[in-house]
Amino acid sequence: MTGKLLYGANLFANDIRQHYLRYGGKGHPVILIPGITSPAVTWGFVAERLAERYDVYVTDVRGRGLSSTGPDLDYGLNSMAEDVIAFAQALNLDSPALLGHSMGARIAIRASASGRASFSRIALIDPPVSGPGRRPYPSKLPWYVDSIRLSVKGIDAEGMRTFCPTWTDEQLKLRAEWLHTCYEPAIVTAFEDFHKDDIFADLPKLARPAMLMVAGRGGVIEPVDEDEVRSLCPTIEIVRVPNAGHMIPWDDFEGFFGALGDFLSR
């Protein structure tokens, strides 16, 4: 079994072009849904490790990477969740697991809670827990918008270091290369929806095994949030990666996989 990239491809599902990267090709299927400004290619280093055990499909969420983009699309959470459902159905994937990071975790929750597709289990990696009446998401919108606008003009890894000072040179080069594919209105909509759409309401609807992975240094999920999540979804497994910020595998690659363990195939 190999964890290497097999190919990139496009399919038409939920009335848009969805681009994805496939790794490994053997084992239980896993759909990896990246976060708000992370095209699929930026998760390749994680997908390669996952693909040693699983058949991994990393998606470009609409408005990012090589998937459909532009002013005529709806960039709300419901549409992104429908994309995942349609993606799994178009490829005839048999009860795939979902692994979503940040915004991607919120997409995974909404897709699974809809009950419209059979997902075997979902791993939620440090999802934003902001929403109506809740504390705001710790990152600020200008951080995203300013870096995207610079990338549209052309920015190198050193320029990107201002925004991501702890990242490696390789990670910075990849972000500098691909960030311009993140359509600014899509990012603004997603960020605003972090505060408008209360994902907690979906948690009691999760009928499959779920894991919540918390970044110990991320500041996104606090102990009080963990308590509320557990009260709404008593069967959820909560794990922490103490030395990682919000971009958990970037900060602590082995810690991420140690916390994930065999959850996706258990």
Measure the CA–CA gap between 37 and 34, rounded to whole angstroms: 8
Choosing from 184, 222, 231, 265, the catalytic residue is 222
Task: Tell me whether residue 192 is one of the annotated catalytic residues.
Answer: no
Burial of 26 per CB tally in 10 Å (0-12, 13-18, 19+): exposed
Choosing from 67, 68, 79, 102, the catalytic residue is 102
CA neighbor of 105 nearest in space, from 23, 251, 221: 221
Measure the CA–CA gap between 61 and 42, rounded to whole angstroms: 12
Burial of 92 per CB tally in 10 Å (0-12, 13-18, 19+): exposed
Residue 28 CA to its chain's centroid (Å): 19
Spatial contact of 107 and 77, defined as CB atoms under 8 Å apart: yes
Task: Tell me whether residue 170 is one of the annotated catalytic residues.
Answer: no
- Relative to beta strand 55-59, strand 16-23 is antiparallel
Residue 218 CA to its chain's centroid (Å): 15
Task: Tell me whether residue 246 is one of the annotated catalytic residues.
Answer: yes
Spatial contact of 38 and 63, defined as CB atoms under 8 Å apart: no
Measure the CA–CA gap between 137 and 152, rounded to whole angstroms: 25
- Which residues belong to the active site? 102, 222, 246
